[in-house]
Every structure is written in structure tokens, then in C-alpha cells.
Structure 1
Amino acid sequence: MKKILFILLMCLPIISMAKDKKDNSNPKYLTGAVTTIDGRVAFTKEINAPGLSKTDIFNQMLDWAKGRFKPDGKLYSHVSYSNEEEGVIAASAEEYIIFSSSALSLDRTRIYYQLLINTKDGKCDLMMTRIRYWYDEARDGGEKYSAEEWITDDMALNKKKTKLAPICGKFRRETIDLKDELFQSAASALGQKFLDTTPEAAPQSVPMQKLQPAIKINASAELKEVGLEQLPSNLNEIAAQGRITLTASNGEEIEIKADNWSGFGKMFNKNVSYLLIDQSRIAATALMEQSDTYKISFYTDDNSKASVVIECKKAMSQKMTAEELKSLNQNADTSKQYTMYIGEVTKTLMR
């Protein structure tokens, strides 16, 4: 009874309470943001990596989980189960969420949760569940409660469902932010080969034979398959002075910008190409999301036929933060949202 009364009092609007400076009306945190499975709060995420095998994904996820979930002082996080044959990894987490901190006060809660990782060929499924809190533990033992009784729509939103409620709302908001950070970190782990700043792994131009961007193309010549090392090293210049198109497996073709092309690199010992697409480019984003294979075509000057064509099989995609863009030295507007598409190079052609 005491616990129920405490929860009700904590979640009622309190006029005298200091206003939370964070955006409590952000739709990201409102109706539907907290999902349940069989009555239990559970957040899920599917990461698609069509070019990677179950073994590749399992090993990458296990390395990430071992680095992300490990004991830290009084907090005991750990990988509790892993089975490569099943493709399953389970981690038990115990960490702090900091609501506010100053020289005079520290408002935080201990959060417990379980992360389940199910790996398959070409994709990885994540589930964050069994979420519990231990709040204000230094004061008379604090209060303990579950996500189901604390951060659901009924508890953590106001009656009109237009903003977060005091106290319960901050738990909901910070839990959702933690979930987003966790899933983003896992997705980045699959793409860490290209996020690495080492020369071997970062997106880069492979040394190739020089080809002048203004070269005249023989209209009657045919595209011929060549090795990757035979392609011109100045594809960026060719794209800037000519044009570049993206073609889906169904034949749909759209024009993209020169700065969408990010070069070649290596991932899991395979030759890959990189495209950086502004998420506001709806057509380009839709084409890439719906296609497993695609072609990148480079046209010099006003030629109607492509001088270089790169055929790719989509390996994975990764939303990029401004910091990640800076680390890749990309000439991109960091105020925009981008997605990096990585494709295994299956064929290269040149006139």
C-alpha cells in the first residue's frame, strides 16, 4: 500500500516542483513510445546487414556486448549467455541513469535490464526487456519498481497524453534515450569496420589508374568488365563535372549528387563501396531501402552513356551522427541526417 501511494504521489503534477528543462512534449516520448510484449515492456530493433553471414554478425555482436556489458564498481553488468550455433546472446545490465547532477545534489536511478540478441544471416534482432529501477537508494533504501508500473502511457503521460508527467516522465524519457543509444551502439558495432579511422578500414579511394574526367566516350563502345584497380582514381571529379546516377534492381534510376559518393574500402575482407545519402532525399532513401542490389553509374560531361558502372550488393546501412561524419572527414552538412549505405562490389565496368 505504501509503495502504491508513493507511486501515485510521485506521478501527480506538482506545481511547486522545479520545471524540467528538457522537452517534455517531444512526440518521441509520447503515446506509443513505450511498447509491450505479453504485458511486459520491451523495446525491439532489427538491424539489417544483408551482406553478412550469421557467424560474422554473431562474432561482431558478441565482441560488442562483452565491451558494453561488464562490471563497473558496484554495478554488475555481464554477458550471461552466448551460443554461436543458436546465434543467441543475452546480457544482463545494471547501470545508472543520471537525471541531474550538481555540486549539491545528484538525482539518479539505478536501472536493470536484459538485452537479447538474436543473429541470423543478414540481420540481427535486439530486444531490451525486464526493465527495473532502484531510485533514491541512499535515502531509507529508496524505492524499487518495474517499467510496467512506472513508464507506461497511463503512468508517465498526462491525462491528455500531450506531455510527460513529472517524475515518472523523466524515467520514461531517459529510458527511451538509453534504448536509442544502446541500439545505435549495436548498429555501429556492425559498421565499425568502416567507422574505424585506420587506413585499412575507413572509406577511402583505392589507388587506381588515372582517367581524365573530360575524356570523350565512344558512343559505340561497350562497357567492359574490369578489375577494381583499373577504375579511375578521380571518380569524385568525374561526378562533379559530369553526373552520377543510382539504379535499383527493378530498373528505376535517379540522379544523385557527387558528394553522395564516398569511395571504396574493405569490410570483412571484401571490396565495398560507400554511399552517403541525405535522409531528406526521399526517392534516393526509398530506392536504397527497397533494393538488395543496385548500380552506381558515372557519366563524364554531357555523355548519355555511363563511362563507369559499379554493381553492388547491399551489405548494410548505418545512420550517421554529426560526430561520425566528422571522423570520416566527409564533406557533408552536419546539420542534416545521413545514412551510410555499404555495398559489396560484385562487378565493375568501364568503357
Structure 2
Amino acid sequence: MKRLLLLLLFIPALLAAQNDQRYLAGAVPEIDGKVVFSKEFNAPSLSQDQIYDVLLNWAQGYFNNEDERVVYANKEKGEIAALGNTYIIFQSNAISLDRALMSYQFTAECEGSACTLKISAIRYTYDVAYQREPEKYTAEGFITDKYAINKKGKLIRSASKFRKATIDFVDKTMNSALTAFDSPQKTSSVVISDQNTTVAPVQPAAPVTPVPPVTPATPVQPVQTLEGFVAINPAQIPSTILQMLPDSPIVIEIEALKENNATWQGISTVFGKKVASFSIAPASTVYQAIGDGEVYKISILNKENNNTWMIIQCRKQGETDNNGQKTVLGEIMNVWIK
């Protein structure tokens, strides 16, 4: 009888250990030091355009509010990018709610009948009851094997709930995208290759090569050396500067045209390029003047005196609808800061 009681006591622990297996070493993949979850699939009976159309329709429904949206879509190249911003729930009951706000980037790269889905650039904002300011983490510094797995190969308690919730969320999102191909109208056979436990993609359907500029091959030169401004590398904009941008008014300029009623949307990395985005009214003459590949400037203003303290020169890469506005994405070519 005692042995039976001991066995019954150990059953919950054994079940928990089995459930933890999918979250242990290798469950959070890294590529060049960055956390990148990926899933590759093939739909042999569908064309690239058909796969793209299904995924774009799914993405526009999945990322469909002010904080989550499709920010880039290019049918010719088979590329889709979206920014996600959602709560992952650790515990919820009548007396407490333990959760963290997770931001991330979702991309889809379609080529032929193959497509690779990726989730990367994961960040967390976690409110702690006894602290005035929320704690902020990156996936690279919190849920990787280095930080979340101890020497015995078990999950470290402080990071385990973030790691588990992130892996569960990634699985849910990837599966949601794949089920978009399950409707009766889509009879293709989708073959899935799970890459989440590898360091690098395994035999991609075709190499992803850099996309050539859509405008003349002549490289963009800095507009001028601006007195009082310092040029910096677009890939090395200080985080303190990035945090100031959402609260700063902007002016969009192309040739002699200016638009003061645009809204800053942010800087992100899309298919290896640093891009800046803003929303603007479709009726704006500035919006109408910025064609694909056109070069324009975003002036960042001091909200106290409207003086320009930063200038970003961009080349338009794409656009998307955003609640009656147009969100324009541009590859950052040059940056100057006062």
C-alpha cells in the first residue's frame, strides 16, 4: 500500500517532466546569435502566387489591429512581413493575472512551391507588482539554452515560464498559418519541415538572395553634409534614440513637397534590411509622389520647439493599408543626428 501511495505521489512529477521535454535543450533555435523560430513547408500543387495569396489573407486577419499589422507585402518577390504585439499568459484566475507583453516580427518568404515562416526579434515587457517600471527582456538574453537551461539540463525557474509560453505561442501561430491551406477549396498537399530545433535552416527550397534595388542602379548618395549633424550607421542607431522616436513629430519630404501630418510607426529589420515606416493619408500629395523605389526624407522634430534633430533618408520598399491610412516602408539609406 505504501508503495502504491508513493507511486501516486510521483505521477504528477513524472507527467510534468514528460511535458517539459519539448521545452528543453534545442527548443529555442539561434541563428548568428539571434533567436529565430522557423518552419518550412511545401505545397506542390500550388504556385508561388497562390501560396502568397493564402498567407497574405491569413496575415491580414491575424495581425489586424493598431498594435499588430502587416507592414510589408511584395507579391512579385513572395515576401510578407508583419509586426506582432500580444500578451502571453502565464497564469490567470479570479485573483491574479500573470502575463507579459511580447513583441515580435513575423515573416514569410515564398519561392516556387516552398515557403519559410519565421518569428524573430522577440522582446518582452513584464510588469512586476512591487516595481514602478516594467522589466524588459530580449529572447536572446532570457529564453535561450544559455540562460534557461541549468547544468543538469533542466529548466531554470525564472525563465521557464517565458520559454514555455513563447514556444507554445510560436507553435500556435505557425499552425494557424498552415491551417489556412486546409479549406475545401485548397486541395494541395502541404509538406511541413520543422526547423525549430536546428541552428540553421535545413536544405531550404532555394537560396534566398539579396533583392536588387527596384530603382536605378546608381547608389544613393547623402543629400549633403549637414552643419550641426553627424552621420551614423543605420544599423547602429542607439537604443536611447529609438525610444525617443515614437513621441516625436515627423515631416516627410520628397523634392519640394512636405507632409506634416504623417505618423511615425517605427524602425525594424525586414528581410535583412533596416526599414523605417510611417502612416500617411492616401490623399496626401507627398504619399502620391513617393513611388516604389523613390528616395525621400523623414525629419524628426523636437516636440517642444519643432526643430529638426534627426534626419532619415529612405528608399521606398512597399506599403500596406492601415485603418484608412497607408503605412509606407522604406529601406534606411542614411541617418543624421544633431
TM-score in terms of structure 2 length: 0.50
- Give the TM-score normalised by structure 1: 0.48
Q: Which has the larger radius of gyration?
A: 1
